Amino acid sequence: MVRIGYFLSSEEFGPNELVRQAKMAEEAGFDRLWISDHYHPWTSEQGNSPFVWSVIGALSQVCSLPITTAVTCPIVRIHPAVIAQAAATAAVQTEGRFVLGVGTGEALNEHIFGGAWPPPAVRLTMLDEAIDIIRKLHAGGQMSHYGEHYTVQQAQLYTLPEQPVPIYVSGFGPQAARRAGRTGDGFCTAMPDADLVRAFRDNGGGGKPVQGGMKVCWSSSEDAGAATAHRLWANEQLPGQLGQALPTPRDFEQATKLVTEDMVREAVPCGPDPGKHVRAVQAFAEADFDEVYVQQIGPDQEAFFEAWSTKVLPELR
């Protein structure tokens, strides 16, 4: 049976609202939490981007759900040794209920110091090296590292959880899924793609957890939900490498003019039909996912949690 979590959107909501949503998610019967890690929102309409590690500290004090970052980029904007410290602290605060989800990131968040944005193949090698650094620091003791991309000199973490933090690797194509199987303790993606899951499991990921994320817009009508989803998350329908390559929210706003409301309506479950929402989760279950995280688009969070707790979650369990 697939486990259902709630996806906290750091791009769409401020820190206090994210904490409020996490409390509502636990009360509504969700099993766990995802939280995005961004420096910028995708578009100005989304309008937020709090520092995820501060929010995780607050979450640890108000709810008991396991938390995964979905996902942190430990390769450019923040050095992997600093991410190692942040993740270790989060795991202590949550009493071991923390997973570090990592990926190769987007120029949107990582370009801010003015360096070149590496091509995908280079970012993958950087991620491998970053994961190695994080794991060595989580193992305890002093360590130094002189690698191709990073230097760590005589570093030691003194606040550590009882067990090393699990590291799940994000991927959106077969090469990334295969690599995640070899390097990750689990796999994260945002599409119910059985082939990606198979690529992960066949390349070292057998028996490891697979997490998926999706968006919905529970609303009074399908039209109202589609309009809200299009206004806030049209960027999700951009093709190819645009999501990784465009550097600013303004660039995404220009690109999403090509995304129609019908394109969003087709991709995102919208409206008050519980069956449509159930079927969207079942697509992940049928693709052999272990966990599915659902984000409600827009401000109507109370109606979403009420509907899902009474009409959707019971059908999935």
Q: State yes or no: is 38 an active-site residue.
A: yes
- Taking alpha carbons only, the member of 99, 108, 107 closest to residue 168 is 99
- DSSP lists the bridge partners of residue 216 as 296
Q: State yes or no: is 45 an active-site residue.
A: no
Amino acid at 265: R
Q: CB–CB of 217/225 below 8 Å? A: yes
Handedness of CA 53, 56, 60, 62 (dihedral sign): positive
- Taking alpha carbons only, the member of 271, 274, 277, 273 closest to residue 221 is 271
Q: What are phi and psi of 96, to 5 degrees?
A: 90, 5
DSSP string, 147-167: -SS-EEEEE--SS--SSPPPE
From the candidates 11, 12, 40, 106, give the one annotated as an active-site residue: 106
Residue environment code for 131-149, b if the CB has 16+ CB neighbours within 10 A, otherwise e: bebbbbbbeeeebebeeeb
- Taking alpha carbons only, the member of 86, 79, 66, 85 closest to residue 26 is 66
From the candidates 11, 38, 230, 277, give the one annotated as an active-site residue: 38
Q: Which helix (H) or strand (E) holds 175?
A: helix 174-183
Amino acid at 177: A
Handedness of CA 23, 26, 30, 31 (dihedral sign): positive
Cα gap 282→272, rounded to integer Å: 17
Q: Give the residue numbers annotated as catalytic, written as ranges.
A: 38, 106
